[in-house]
Amino acid sequence: MATLTVTNNTSLTLGSTSYAVNRSYTVECEWADKRALTVPNSEVSLLTIGTPATSGQVPNIVFFMLKCRDTTTGLRIRFIDTGNDAVDFKVDAGEHIVWHDNKLEVNTTGATFTAYVTLDTIFVNGDGATTDIEYLVCSRKIT
Amino acid sequence: MASATNTITVGLTIDSVVYDMSNTFTTSSATDAYIRRVNVDTTEIQILQVGATVAAGKIESIRGLVIHNLSTKNTVRIRFTETGSNQTAIFRIPPKGFHNFGNAQYSVNNTGGAFVAFVNVASIYASAEYDDATILFIAQHD
């Protein structure tokens, strides 16, 4: 078991007023996948979530971070329970997104929460062109 | 005008292999910066509106959003809805965790269908999953 330390610092300056929010936390993990790659302008799977931990598959997610290393082209990232709930987020060039587990719920009616589904795949798609990304996913055995 | 910088740094070493990662992105032309700390219980409340007209609790658009769960032991549930309360995404933030977004665009499908188009978040709701929690969010608009 290893300790993952995540730090997020946000600083804002508006006129003569400055704000700073600096926070950090730790997560225990056993497995880590880190990869830098070029994503095409078409949807491709980035990783799957399930057991066993075969090629490209992690047993669960305790922390996931993706950053767009490209300075001009962003991407779309899709978290999905195949055949069921899916959510897409837009990550612009140079930005990042984090995710903490494999749970999600969506609906198309504005309804409030009922139950989470379990994500099984993360897809990515360059936003109109190829784009360069890097991701880190950490997981651990659930006992 | 406001400048805003968001930096994430991740440190991890397993068996002498370093998996560190970091990223910084900057918004240089923000005109609205909104930081709010709010307590939530298991009853969902609206914590932020996004729309064309500035109003109490409402920001015109999002160019950088970080939602922190300040609780050390309670998970927070976040719900995004679009105008008309149609497309809705619900996810959770673990104790001490955070989610960050560079923009307010998202899309959902509840049958696993292919992506069609992004919509803009219009309302953000929050609740505690099991017991009271505290949220801190930082939103800026350019």
CATH number at residue A39: 2.60.120
- The percentage of residues in chain A with a pLDDT greater than 90, rounded to a whole number, is 87
The nearest alpha carbon in chain A to B70 belongs to A23
Closest approach of chain B CAs to the CA of A57, in angstroms? 18
Of A13, A30, A88, which has the smallest distance from its Cβ to B107's Cβ? A88
In a domain, A19, yes or no: no
Number of CB atoms found within 10 A of residue A2's CB: 17
What ipTM does the predicted assembly reach? 0.94
A vs B, Cβ pairs < 8 A, gives 204
Least Cα distance to A91 among B34, B118, B94 occurs for B118
Domain that holds residue A104: 31-139
State the average pLDDT for chain B: 93
| Longest CA pairwise span in chain A (Å) | 54
Name the band, by pLDDT with cuts 50, 70 and 90, for residue A8.
very high
- The percentage of residues in chain A with a pLDDT greater than 70, rounded to a whole number, is 99
What pLDDT, in 10s, does the model give residues B18-39? 999 999 988 887 788 889 999 9
**B123 within 8 A of B47, measured Cβ to Cβ:** no
The nearest alpha carbon in chain B to A115 belongs to B90
* pLDDT of A143 strictly over 80: no
- Give Cβ neighbours of residue B12 (< 8 Å, ≥ 6 apart): A2, A3, A4, A5, A29, A32, A136, A138, B18, B19, B20
In a domain, A46, yes or no: yes
Determine the Cα–Cα distance for residues A120 and A59; give it in Å rounded to an integer: 10
pLDDT reported for residue A7: 95
In a domain, A43, yes or no: yes
What pLDDT, in 10s, does the model give residues A64-119? 999 999 999 999 999 999 999 999 999 999 999 999 999 999 999 999 999 999 99
Residue B89 and residue A106: Cβ atoms within 8 Å? yes
What's the number of domains chain A is made of? 1
**A95 within 8 A of B25, measured Cβ to Cβ:** yes
Question: Which domains can be identified in chain B, with CATH numbers?
Answer: 31-141 (2.60.120.380)
In a domain, A21, yes or no: no
* pLDDT of A18 strictly over 90: no
pLDDT reported for residue B33: 85
Residue B90 and residue A138: Cβ atoms within 8 Å? no
Determine the Cα–Cα distance for residues B133 and B125; give it in Å rounded to an integer: 14
Least Cα distance to B4 among A9, A102, A55 occurs for A9
- B34 contacts chain A (CB < 8 A): no
In a domain, A17, yes or no: no
Scanning B90-119 for CB atoms below 8 A from A yields 90-103, 105-115, 118
Task: Name B115's bridge partners.
Answer: none
Of A13, A94, A138, which has the smallest distance from its Cβ to B3's Cβ? A13
Length of chain B, in residues: 142
Residue A8 and residue B77: Cβ atoms within 8 Å? no
- B142 contacts chain A (CB < 8 A): no
Name the band, by pLDDT with cuts 50, 70 and 90, for residue B4.
confident
pLDDT reported for residue B141: 85
Instruction: Provide the token pair at A111.
Output: 């309804």
